Each structure stands twice: as structure tokens, then as C-alpha cells.
Structure 1
């Protein structure tokens, strides 16, 4: 039986549930969607016990620092998403997207070697069990629109704004970058 250490973290966009096993983050989800993370956890850990503790491995402090403005505070935290080999490749590539930066699904597929795999990339992105740390919120539509996010588009908008990405009318405002240069 696996014991998953958990901690509830208050954020400006709602409480999150952090999940850790063997000193590795295995889940980070907004806590208003338990059906989302419990289905994934039961698939990955058919026999599991959850134990609430404060700040497992110091990860909660890193997350609080991110939300307080230290955007690099979550970089390098150890994660294990428990996905298919393709999903793991997508999630690893997501971690290479710097804060304050967005890319399209097509660009992400191209980085993985197949520009036509946009749909598969989108599906893998949507199954990411480690929100924020594996920054699926940084992936947008090819026209700059903010497309699906498991935590909801208002949270995606907030996260991108928090990271300094200008958003106007539901899309990344690339023109704002031109004026700041």
C-alpha cells in the first residue's frame, strides 16, 4: 500500500492539494475538483492511504513562494506524473517553458518532433496531474487564445497574468510585447 502525503495550500485562486510520495511530487490539483485527481490517483495507486502533513519535503513553501511572486520557486522540484511514455515526454517539455512565456500546442508538438501531433499534445496536457509546477497553463492556441485548462480558464488567465503575460479579450496580447521593447 502506498502512503501519499498531502497538504492543503491556500492560493489567491483557490485551495490546492499537494500530493507527495517518496519525496517526489505526484500531484498538485485545485481542491475544488476532487473527482479529477482521485480518479487519476486510484488508477496510479490502486491501494493507497493519504496522510495530511504540513509542508511535505518543503514543497508547500515553494508553492507559496511562487504565488507570492518568486516565479522560479517551483523550478526543479522533483515530479512523477505516472503517465504514458508520450505523456511523460509532453510533461517534460512543459517544464522547459520558462515562466512569463507561452507556446502553442503546435509549437509544443514540433518540439516533440511531430508538428501534426497537436491533438495528442493537447490530450496529454489535459491529463497533467501536477498543475503549476508542470506548467500546462503556458500552452495556448495558435492564434493566442486561452484554450482549455483543467482548473478553468479564469485560473489560467490569473496564472499567466501573475507571470507577466499580457492578456486581452481572452488571448495573449502579443502587441503588448512590441510596445515594451
Structure 2
């Protein structure tokens, strides 16, 4: 059975979010500098848009809509570990590798982190350098800093570029 893949674009404080999904779940959420805002949000994407808007409004700390990211078994394992990082907390790439059972897999973990197709929902922005520095973020380090400060305003002075 083929499903109808839907796409919507909506405005966030960090740019235009693009959401792609179908009845099997949301498969992609990404951010772009600009674009045309969707006037009518497809029903299958409404809950994701609603929850993301609540996140940006400071009314939500986690997401419970259905997700369906596409990736290898290893990527899926890394993304699941990212989801387990609590709101307002961070973890280093090294600690994430240790959690996954292989400290030597740090580069593979970082690569899987970078291929995360679900911006914010799979919180790759919560992974930082061992020294506390903000390293590698596909959406730009300024967005990573904004997200971490949004989730934990008390950390504002600690975040390093």
C-alpha cells in the first residue's frame, strides 16, 4: 500500500521548518533560511507542527507524534540514544559513544548524528564536544546555541563556540 507523502513549511524563530511525513510517521524535519510558508497544513502533519510550535513557545519539552526516520540500523540506534538525552541536558560525542558500547565508534556516532533527519525531535543539538564546546551542527552553530539556551536558559553563560 502506497502512502501519500505530505510536506509543509512553517515559520520558526530559527528559519523555515520543512516537515515531510505520511500516516506511517514523520520522516524528515529540516530547517532552511527562507521559503514559502504553507497555507494549509496537511492533516497528517498537523500534530508535528503543533508540537514544534509549542516547543518554540516554551510549552513542550518532548515530542510524542509518530516518527519514521529512514537510516541504517546503526544510525537508528544512535538516533534512539539521542532521543534519550533529557531536555535541557547535553552529552559529549565521547559519552554517547560509550553509552552505545564502543568508545572507538566516536566518528561513526558523530556521522550518524550529522545525518539525523528529524531536527529538534531527535535532539542532535544536545551533543557537544568533550570540553563543552559547540561542535558540528548541520543547521549552523548559532542555531545549536539558540536551541541549547532555549532548553536551559541557565546555561547561557557556559556555551562555548
TM superposition score normalised by structure 2: 0.87
* Residue in 1 that maps onto 2:32: 31
2:102 counterpart of 1:126:
no
Over aligned residues, Cα RMSD in angstroms?
A: 2.3
SS at match of 1:6: strand
Q: Is the 8 A contact 2:24 2:68 kept in 1?
A: no
2:88 counterpart of 1:97:
no
Mapped partners of 2:49, 2:26: distance in 1: 10
Runs in 1 of length 4+ with deviation above 3 angstroms? Answer: 167-170
Q: Is the 8 A contact 1:6 1:52 kept in 2?
A: no
Within the candidate set 122, 133, 140, 2:128 is matched to 140
2:56 counterpart of 1:67:
yes
User: Number of matched residues?
Assistant: 155
Deviation at 1:27, TM superposition (A): 0.4
**Segment drifting more, 113-122 vs 15-24:** 15-24
**1:43-54 residue pairs with structure 2 within 5 A?**
53-54=40-41
Q: Deviations over 1:112-162 (max 9, x none)?
A: 111121111000000001000000000000000000111100000000000
Deviation at 1:111, TM superposition (A): 0.9
Mapped partners of 1:88, 1:103: distance in 2: 18
After superposition, the Cα gap between the structure-2 partners of 1:22 and 1:167, relative to the gap in structure 1 and judged at 3 Å, is same
Mapped partners of 1:133, 1:3: distance in 2: 22
Unaligned runs of at least 5 residues, structure 1: 35-50, 173-181
TM superposition score normalised by structure 1: 0.78
Q: Is the 8 A contact 1:23 1:57 kept in 2?
A: no
Q: Is the 8 A contact 1:12 1:67 kept in 2?
A: yes
Q: Is the 8 A contact 1:5 1:53 kept in 2?
A: no
After superposition, the Cα gap between the structure-2 partners of 1:18 and 1:115, relative to the gap in structure 1 and judged at 3 Å, is same
**Segment drifting more, 61-70 vs 16-25:** 16-25
